[in-house]
Structures are given as structure tokens and as C-alpha cells.
């Protein structure tokens, strides 16, 4: 490897570290500082508020349901894409990535156009006949969250499925295992870490979604206000300390996800 002169190396190092420090590290650190400026009372008091508790509970509920849906469909679609041949497979695998390249506001708008109760494509039917309102209610929040986090599990599982091949599965089948036994005993254990990964990434995304949720939520406190929406609301109502406290909790979740990924990554690469 060609050596770069010492001054150049230092210049590049300082540039890289300085840029990341000023743009990410310092601001994020300040968030923690502002949260605990007056001790832990700010965080604890904020957590005592019923509205905050219900917002956090709603975020947890919505994220959990969205992750479960994405887990089941993500694993199913990954196996279909890798192990089977069918017409339209390339198209499906290209379309799966769509949710990542669309603005969150567009995601919200698209769901509103189809599922709103007034003039949506399916909304009025669902609301009147099935009594199942979607937009401005929890199902809408779940749909928006599922939408934005949809590709994450699939992106992690598909490459691993390719890599492990299907020799073991065929062996299991030739020894008389049915497809359910093959899935639970052979396929799932070998893609376990990729699935965990995908779920962790989907968790970070689901807990933190803001734009899409904002469009489909009525933003009512205690009803459809998620934690991210509450951060905006609190900040704009000049309750900045509380906004910092909730934001701090959200950052904890996202950093925990990053740490889990960083710890798991080498294991799967071995």
C-alpha cells in the first residue's frame, strides 16, 4: 500500500473527524446534556405525564405490530424470491425496494388517497360496511410504519439465503421431511442472524418514523399521537425540556439498535 505523507494523513484525519464531530457527535451529545441539565428530574417528570406514557405506549404498539407483519411477510417473500421461479419475479424484487426511495410524506399521501373515509378508493367501504376506519386511527399508523420499514428484513435475508444454498434443504426433503419441518429445522436456523438483523433495523425505523405517520395521524394526544409526533408538538408548544427528554429516549432506542447490529455483524460474517 502506498504511504501517504504524514501531513496529508493528519489533514484528512482532522477533516473527517472534525466534520463528523460537528455534524453528528456534538449535536447528539448536546441533546443528552440538555436532557440532564437539571439532573434526572426532567426525564422522570416527563415520564410521569399520562400523555407521554400513552404516546410511548402507542409507538411501542404500532412498532411491534409493524415489525411482526414485516417479519412474517419479509421471511416469506425472501424465501419465495430466492428458492422459487415464477413469472414476474424480477419485477417483484425490484418493486420491494420502492418504499426506501419514496418520501415519507408521499407514503402518507398514498395511503390517505386509498384508505381515507371520505373519498378514498377503499376507505368509505371499510369505514361504513366493516366499521374499520384506517386513516386518522391506529390501523393507519400501523400501515404507514409497515410501509416504510418493509424492505429492511428482506434485504438482510435474501443475500444470506443465496449464500447458504439449498443443499441442506434438499437433503432434508430427500430424507422425508415435509416443508414445514424443513423450514423450522433447516432454513430458519441458518438465516436466524439475518432475520434478527432485519428486525433490529426495522425496529429503529419503525420507532422513529415521523413524516408518513404525521400525514395519516389525527395527532390527538392520548389517541393517535406517537412519540415522534409528540416531540414536534412539545417543542412547538415551548415545552422544550420535555421534547428533549422524549427525543433522548428515542435516541437511546436507535443507538441501542446500532450497538446490537455492531455486535452481531462479525458473528454472521464468520
For other proteins, the binding residues in 74-103 under the rule CB under 8 A are 76-77, 80-87, 89-90, 92-103
State yes or no: residue 218 binds other proteins (CB under 8 A): no
Residues 129-168: x where in contact with other proteins by CB under 8 A, - otherwise, as a string:
--------------x--xx--xxx-xxx-xx--x--xx--
Q: With respect to other proteins, which residue has the nearer C-beta, 131 or 269?
A: 269
Record the cell numbers describing residue 194, joined without a space: 439475518
Identify which of 198, 201, 209, 197 has the alpha carbon closest to the alpha carbon of residue 250.
Answer: 209
- Sequence-distant (6+) residues with CB within 8 A of 43 are 35, 36, 245, 248, 249
> Residue 123, Cβ neighbours under 10 Å: how many?
22
Pick the stretch among 41-49, 50-58, 124-132, 244-252 that binds other proteins (CB under 8 A).
Answer: 244-252
Q: Least Å distance between CB 60 and other proteins?
A: 14
* Footprint of other proteins on 3-62 (CB under 8 A): 4-5, 8-9, 12-13, 15-17, 19-20, 22-28, 30-31, 34
Rounded (5°) CA angle 34-40-44: 110
Secondary structure of residue 25 in the 3-state scheme? helix
Residues 53 and 44 sit within 8 Å (Cβ to Cβ): no
Residues 178-207: x where in contact with other proteins by CB under 8 A, - otherwise, as a string:
-x---------------------x--x--x
Amino acid at each position: 500500500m502506498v504511504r501517504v505523507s504524514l501531513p496529508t494523513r493528519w489533514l484528512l484525519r482532522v477533516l473527517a473527524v472534525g466534520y463528523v464531530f460537528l455534524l453528528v457527535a456534538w449535536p447528539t451529545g448536546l441533546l443528552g446534556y440538555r436532557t440532564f441539565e437539571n439532573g434526572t428530574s426532567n426525564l422522570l417528570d416527563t415520564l410521569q405525564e399520562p400523555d407521554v406514557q400513552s404516546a410511548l405506549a402507542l409507538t411501542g404498539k404500532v412498532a411491534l405490530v409493524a415489525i411482526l407483519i414485516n417479519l412474517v411477510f419479509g421471511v416469506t417473500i425472501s424465501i419465495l424470491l430466492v428458492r422459487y421461479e415464477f413469472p414476474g419475479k424480477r419485477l417483484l424484487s425490484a418493486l420491494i425496494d420502492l418504499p426506501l426511495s419514496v418520501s415519507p410524506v408521499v407514503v402518507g399521501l398514498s395511503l390517505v388517497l386509498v384508505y381515507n373515509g371520505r373519498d378514498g378508493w377503499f376507505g368509505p367501504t371499510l369505514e361504513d360496511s366493516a366499521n374499520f376506519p384506517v386513516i386518522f386511527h391506529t390501523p393507519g399508523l400501523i400501515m404507514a410504519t409497515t410501509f416504510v420499514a418493509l424492505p429492511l428484513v428482506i434485504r438482510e435475508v435474501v443475500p444470506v439465503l443465496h449464500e447458504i444454498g439449498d443443499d441442506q434443504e434438499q437433503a432434508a426433503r430427500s430424507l422425508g421431511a415435509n416443508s414445514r419441518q424443513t423450514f423450522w429445522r433447516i432454513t430458519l436456523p441458518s438465516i436466524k442472524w439475518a432475520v434478527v438483523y432485519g428486525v433490529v433495523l426495522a425496529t429503529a425505523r419503525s420507532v422513529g418514523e415521523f413524516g408518513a405517520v404525521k400525514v395519516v395521524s389525527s395527532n390527538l394526544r392520548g389517541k393517535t399521537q406517537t412519540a415522534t409526533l409528540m416531540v414536534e408538538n412539545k417543542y412547538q408548544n415551548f415545552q422544550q425540556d420535555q421534547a428533549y427528554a422524549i427525543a433522548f429516549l428515542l435516541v437511546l432506542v436507535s443507538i441501542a439498535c446500532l450497538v446490537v447490529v455492531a455486535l452481531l455483524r462479525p458473528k454472521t460474517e464468520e
